[in-house]
Amino acid sequence: QGQQGQGQQGHVAGSVIEFERLGLVVIDEEQRFGVMQKEHLKRLVAPGVDVLSLSATPIPRTLQLAQLGIRGLSKIHHPPPGRLPPKTFVGAFSKARIKDAINNEINRGGQVFYVVPLKSLVSSRRLMIQDMLREIEENKLANLIRQSKESVADNSDAKRPARRGRVIEAWGGHPELEHRVLTFERGDAEVLVSTSVIENGLDLPNANTLIVESAHLFGLAQLHQIRGRVGRRARQAYAFFFIPSNAEMTLTANARDRLDALNALRTGDQIANKDLAIRGAGSLFGEHQSGDIQDVGYTLYVIMLRKALGEMRI
C-alpha cells in the first residue's frame, strides 16, 4: 500500500494509467522481458514500491543478482501435490518413434504437443502427423478384422475409410491462435503442431506427450519451459527431444551441454544454474542478460565480483 507520487503515469498495454496507491509490482514470467523493459517499469513506480519477479527459469543475469545478494531470492522446491515429473528422452529424429509416442498417448485418451523451431515447418509437420494418424487407424482396423476372423468383403467396418486424424497448427501471430488453442483444449484435436508459442501460459492437463523437433536450436531454459506444458496433473507425462540424425557429429559443445542437462536435470532451479554456467551471467549494469565468461570461468568470476562489491560497500 505504498503511496504513489502525484501525477506519475505508466504505459501499460498501450494505455496511459495513473497510479494512485501502487504498493506492489509483480512481474510474471520474468525471463520473457528484456532489461530495458524491466528498467522502464521500475521508473514508472515510486521509490519504495516492492517488486516481485516470478520465473521457473530465471535468466542468467537475474539469477546472478540474487546469488550475489543484490536481490532477495525465494525458492519453491516442490511441485503441487500429485504431479509426476515428465519422463524425458533425447535422441535422433525418428518417424517410427514419433508415431509410437503419438499412438500411445492417443490410446490412453490423451493429446500431444508437437513443437518445431520455425513457423515454416508447421504445415509440413501437420501433414506428416495426419498421415501417421491415418496409418494408425488403418492398422487398428486391420487388427480388428483379424481378431474377428472375418473377411474384408463381409465386414462392413472394413469398407469405411479410416478416420483421418485431427491435427491443428498454431504459431505466434496467427490470426486464429486463441481459437485454435481453445479448440485443442476442448479435445477437438489429438495433436497441436506449433512453434514455441506454447512455451508459457498453457495449462492443458489432457496433453501429456510432448515432442520437440530440432531441440538443439532451442535454449536450455526455453526447452525446460516447453517441457512444463506436460505433466500438469497426476498422469505420467513424456517429453521427447529430437535432433537430426546427421547432427550428432556437428553439435556445438554448448548445444550438447544443453541437451545433456535437459536429460539429467528436472527442476527449474537446476536448469537455471546450468544455463548460467553455460551462457555466462551477462552485464550487471548493461542490457546483456547473458554473456560468455569462459576465459575466466564462472566460479572465479563470482569470487572476483563479490570482492569488488564488498569493496564498494566499504
For 167, the 3-state DSSP assignment is strand
Check if the beta carbon of residue 208 is closer than 8 Å to that of residue 231.
Answer: yes
Quote the CA–CA distance of 193 and 116 in Å, as a whole number. Answer: 8
pLDDT of residue 238: 98
178-198 burial: b if 16+ Cβ within 10 Å, else e: eebbebbbeeebbbbbbbbbb
Cα distances (Å, whole numbers) of residue 4 to 7, 8, 24, 198: 9, 7, 11, 36
DSSP 3: P
Quote the CA–CA distance of 300 and 257 in Å, as a whole number. Answer: 20
In this structure, the strands spanning 15-18 and 24-27 are: unpaired
- Please list the alpha-helical segments (H only) found in the chain: 35-44, 60-67, 95-107, 122-148, 156-159, 177-185, 220-227, 253-264, 268-279, 298-313
Quote the CA–CA distance of 83 and 76 in Å, as a whole number. Answer: 14
pLDDT of residue 283: 62
pLDDT of residue 284: 60
194 membership: H or E segment, kind and range: strand 191-194
Check if the beta carbon of residue 106 is closer than 8 Å to that of residue 112.
Answer: yes
Q: Which amino acid is at 152?
A: V
Q: Which amino acid is at 169?
A: E
pTM of the predicted model as reported, rounded to 2 decimal places: 0.80
Angle between helices 122-148 and 95-107 (to 10 degrees): 60
pLDDT of residue 54: 92
Quote the CA–CA distance of 285 and 241 in Å, as a whole number. Answer: 36
Check if the beta carbon of residue 215 is closer than 8 Å to that of residue 242.
Answer: yes
Which residue has cell 508447421?
A: 122
pLDDT of residue 112: 98
pLDDT of residue 27: 86
One digit per residue, the tens of pLDDT, for the chain of length 314 reads 333 333 344 445 445 567 777 788 888 888 888 777 777 776 766 667 888 889 999 988 888 888 888 888 999 888 888 889 999 999 999 999 999 999 999 999 999 999 999 999 999 999 999 999 999 999 888 888 888 765 544 554 444 444 446 999 999 887 889 999 999 999 999 999 999 999 988 999 999 999 999 999 999 999 999 999 999 989 999 999 999 988 777 899 999 999 999 999 989 999 999 998 888 776 665 555 556 555 666 667 767 777 777 777 65
Check if the beta carbon of residue 31 is closer than 8 Å to that of residue 11.
Answer: no
pLDDT of residue 293: 56
Quote the CA–CA distance of 306 and 87 in Å, as a whole number. Answer: 38
Check if the beta carbon of residue 114 is closer than 8 Å to that of residue 193.
Answer: yes
pLDDT of residue 165: 61
Angle between helices 60-67 and 268-279 (to 10 degrees): 100
